[in-house]
Every structure is written in structure tokens, then in C-alpha cells.
């Protein structure tokens, strides 16, 4: 188990230390941890946000555990030197095309959701978002028409192999959950979505144990707020997934609790090569104060054990310990509590 640990900037190193503590306590067999510089610290030490030695380390590893990048001191730099380029560079270089964002309501936190507590209580879903295609990657331009008006356009496309591979990720994820997959598209008006739907249905033949449904994206946005408990696993394209995954995560409450995985083709002995990170950024406003909630980082490590190393039992152990700590009232400042970074790490550790 070779893991590239990339703490990054701001609160990144602080929360990563707690995740490492938890991993160390699990006594994993043959685990090798490498640590590399990325983001603003990469720029300061090596002149680049994604130094070649860090990229090499990430390529050689079975999984990447990523803290956060972003440093206000780098704001004036040219775009390609900014810390945030590191995460984009890693996604591209490692071919990470599937973004997994679980959103689960932790008992005791229902009041912190933007939704009514009785509705929030039901949230336990996973969004599988395609990350490498769609309208974000098509030809784009602002051109001037013959009559002088300016027109912006972005070309939206999906090739069937791009849909097929993300569909497989969605079905496999659903198999590991409650066995229900909802494919979200806009097939009533978009040809890309019609192809998406056709391919997802075709792939479903290989997963007779998964119940497949389809939903238009506008309805999905409404249903996520009206009755999120109806969703188990959702698979969708890059644009729709960008919006729906942000929406779903905020239904849960704090940004300090939400983990994510970005997966590529199967490249390891156990499962899929992936990059695991909290959904939040480097939080420069609280960096160095010891107030950052490390739970999202710890839960990202759990996702890594599940998806890259097939260690479901260890992943569940970590997730249960976090849920237990929250239920016992261990809350960081982001949840209106007083527990600091190290204390939260210790409390999770004590419940492993």
C-alpha cells in the first residue's frame, strides 16, 4: 500500500497529521507513506505548485491523500503558478475521471442542516460525477457574429466510452451501498443526455443486482431538497454533478465533515487508483489556530481504504468512530463546538 501524502497549504498539514494518526492506529499491513510538497508550499520550495518530484510520487503511489491547496500570499502569481493548479494538474496527469462525494447525515447534527431536521435525517447518498468530459472540456469561445453581436459558446459532448466507464463506477458504487442507482441527465432536450441514458441502460445489463432509475436534472435538484432520503447512489455528468454535489453536501451541514474521492481506471492490485481529499479548501482564515475540523480529512482516508485498497472493514471502522465522536458531542468550531484539531483527532482515535 503505497500512499502519497500531500498536505498542501493552510490547514492542510494540521488536518493531515490527524488523518495519519488514525491510519497509524489501524496497523495496516505493508503501508508505505511518502510525503510531498504541493500548492503554495510546492511553489515556495520548488518554484511550481505541482513539482515534478511530487507528480512522480503520485504516479508511483497506489493512492494520493491530499489535504488542501491555496495560499493568499500566492494571489498575485500568474495562473499556472497558483496553488490551485496543483489539484487540476494531478487530476489530469493521473486520469482521474470519477468524482465520488458521499453526503451522509450524522446523528445529532440534523439541526445544522439547511433542511428541516426530519428531512435532513434521511440523507445518505453518494454522488458519482464524471470529471473529465462534458461542456467544460469542449471547444469554447466568444466570437463576433456578422451583425456585430458577440456570442459565447461551449461545445457539450460525451463519447460513449466516457459514459460507459463512469456508468461502471456508478453501478459498482451502488453495489457497495443499497443497490440503487439513479442516473441524472436532461435527455428530454439534450442529445448528449440521450446518449448518456442509452449507454447507462446498456451497461445496466451487467449489473442485474442494481436497481436503475433515471431522473431529469431539474427534478433531481428539487428532489434533493424535498426528499433526499430517496437517493442511494447518483451518477451524472460533469456539469450536473458539479452543481448537484455542492447542493447535496450543503444539505448535510458543515464543510468540515465532507470527504471526496477522485478515481481513475483500475491501476492497482486491489482496486482503483485514486486521490482522496476533503471538499473544503485551505481555510487560511483559521490556519495556525488549531481550530480546523480534521473529520473530512479523516473520512477521506477512510474512502481511500475502501476504494483503492478494498479495506471496507477498516473504512467503516473509521466512519463509525467519527459518527460516534459526533454523537458524543465532539464538535469543532465549524459545528458550533469548542473542540480543536488535535482533540478531535484524539477523540476519533479513542473510538476506533
Would you name the residues annotated as active-site residues?
Answer: 136, 186, 218, 242, 246
C-alpha R_g of the chain = 20
Which of 130, 319, 334, 347: binder of ligand NAI (CB under 6 A)? 334
The answer to whether 332 contacts ligand NAI (rule: CB under 6 A) is yes
Looking at the Cβ atoms of 190 and 255, the one nearer to ligand NAI is 255
Q: Among 96, 89, 98, which Cα is nearest to 69's?
A: 89
The answer to whether 345 contacts ligand NAI (rule: CB under 6 A) is no
The answer to whether 283 contacts ligand NAI (rule: CB under 6 A) is yes
- What are the start-end ranges of the H helices in 269-340? 295-307, 312-327
Is residue 291 part of an annotated ligand binding site? yes
Partner whose footprint covers residue 22, from ligand NAI, Mg ion, none (CB < 5 to 8 Å by kind): none
Binding part of the chain for ligand NAI, among 118-126, 163-171, 193-201, 278-286 by CB under 6 A, reads 278-286
Is residue 273 part of an annotated ligand binding site? no
Q: How many alpha carbons lie under 13 Å from residue 116 in its C-beta half-sphere? A: 4
d(CA 250, CA 112): 10
How big is the CA angle at 174 (ends 320 and 277), to the nearest 5 degrees?
55
β-pairing verdict for 180-185 and 233-236: parallel
The answer to whether 281 contacts ligand NAI (rule: CB under 6 A) is yes
Which of 186, 280, 306, 311: binder of ligand NAI (CB under 6 A)? 280
Is residue 201 part of an annotated ligand binding site? no
The distance of closest approach from Cβ of residue 10 to ligand NAI in the complex, given in angstroms and rounded to an integer, is: 7
Cβ distance 213 to 180 under 8 Å?
Answer: yes
The answer to whether 90 contacts ligand NAI (rule: CB under 6 A) is no
Partner whose footprint covers residue 242, from ligand NAI, Mg ion, none (CB < 5 to 8 Å by kind): Mg ion
Q: Among 103, 175, 92, 93, which Cα is nearest to 131's?
A: 92
The answer to whether 16 contacts ligand NAI (rule: CB under 6 A) is no
CA distance between the termini of the chain: 21
Length of the chain: 352
- Measured between alpha carbons, how far is residue 142 from residues 45, 79, 154, 230, 331 in Å? 38, 20, 9, 41, 48
Element (H, E) at 21: helix 12-25
Looking at the Cβ atoms of 191 and 246, the one nearer to Mg ion is 246
Window 29-68: residues binding ligand NAI (CB under 6 A): 68
Helix 12-25 / helix 295-307 crossing angle, nearest 10 deg: 50
Partner whose footprint covers residue 58, from Mg ion, ligand NAI, none (CB < 5 to 8 Å by kind): none
- Measured between alpha carbons, how far is residue 150 from residues 135, 139, 141 in Å? 19, 16, 10
Which of 242, 277, 314, 334: binder of Mg ion (CB under 5 A)? 242
The distance of closest approach from Cβ of residue 338 to ligand NAI in the complex, given in angstroms and rounded to an integer, is: 13
The distance of closest approach from Cβ of residue 238 to ligand NAI in the complex, given in angstroms and rounded to an integer, is: 16
Residue 195 in grid coordinates: 446518449
- E strand segments, 39-108: 63-68, 98-104
Partner whose footprint covers residue 87, from ligand NAI, Mg ion, none (CB < 5 to 8 Å by kind): ligand NAI
Binding residues for substrate: 91, 101, 129, 218
Binding residues for Mg(2+): 218, 242, 246
Give the residues lining the site for Mg ion (CB under 5 A).
Answer: 242, 246
Binding residues: 91, 101, 129, 218, 242, 246, 281-293
Amino acid at each position: 500500500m503505497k500512499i502519497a501524502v500531500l498536505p498542501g497549504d493552510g490547514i492542510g498539514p494540521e488536518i493531515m497529521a490527524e488523518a495519519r494518526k488514525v491510519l497509524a492506529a489501524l496497523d495496516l499491513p505493508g503501508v508505505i507513506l511518502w510525503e510531498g510538497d504541493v500548492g503554495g508550499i510546492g511553489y515556495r520550495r520548488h518554484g511550481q505548485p505541482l513539482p515534478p518530484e511530487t507528480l512522480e510520487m503520485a504516479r508511483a503511489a497506489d493512492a494520493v491523500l491530499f489535504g488542501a491547496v491555496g495560499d493568499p500570499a500566492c494571489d498575485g502569481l500568474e495562473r499556472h503558478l497558483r496553488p490551485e493548479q496543483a489539484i487540476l494538474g494531478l487530476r489530469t496527469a493521473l486520469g482521474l475521471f470519477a468524482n465520488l462525494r458521499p453526503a451522509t447525515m450524522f446523528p445529532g447534527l440534523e439541526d445544522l442542516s439547511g433542511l428541516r431536521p426530519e428531512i435532513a435525517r434521511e440523507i445518505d447518498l453518494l454522488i458519482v460525477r464524471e470529471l473529465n468530459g462534458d461542456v467544460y472540456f469542449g471547444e469554447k469561445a466568444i466570437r463576433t457574429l456578422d451583425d456585430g453581436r458577440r456570442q459565447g459558446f461551449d461545445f457539450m459532448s460525451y463519447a460513449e466510452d466516457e459514459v460507459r466507464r463512469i456508468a461502471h463506477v456508478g453501478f459498482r458504487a451502488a453495489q457497495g451501498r443499497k443497490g440503487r442507482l439513479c442516473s441524472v441527465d436532461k435527455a428530454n432536450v439534450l442529445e448528449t443526455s440521450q446518449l448518456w441514458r442509452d449507454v447507462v441502460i446498456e451497461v445496466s445489463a451487467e449489473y442485474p443486482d442494481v436497481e436503475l432509475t433515471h431522473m431529469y436534472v431539474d427534478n433531481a435538484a428539487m428532489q434533493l431538497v424535498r426528499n433526499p432520503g430517496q437517493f442511494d447512489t447518483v451518477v451524472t455528468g460533469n456539469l450536473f454533478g458539479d452543481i448537484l454535489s455542492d447542493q447535496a453536501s450543503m444539505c448535510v451541514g458543515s464543510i468540515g465533515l465532507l470527504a471526496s474521492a477522485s478515481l481513475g481506471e483500475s491501476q492497482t492490485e486491489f482496486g482503483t487508483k485514486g486521490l482522496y481529499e476533503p471538499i473544503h479548501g485551505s481555510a487560511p482564515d483559521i490556519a495556525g489556530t488549531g481550530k480546523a475540523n480534521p473529520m473530512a480529512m479523516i473520512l477521506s482516508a477512510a474512502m481511500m481504504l475502501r476504494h483503492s485498497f478494498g479495506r471496507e472493514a477498516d473504512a467503516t471502522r473509521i466512519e463509525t468512530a467519527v459518527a460516534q465522536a459526533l454523537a458524543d458531542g465532539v464538535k469543532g468550531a465549524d459545528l458550533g463546538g469548542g473542540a480543536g484539531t488535535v482533540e478531535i483527532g484524539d477523540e476519533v482515535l479513542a473510538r476506533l
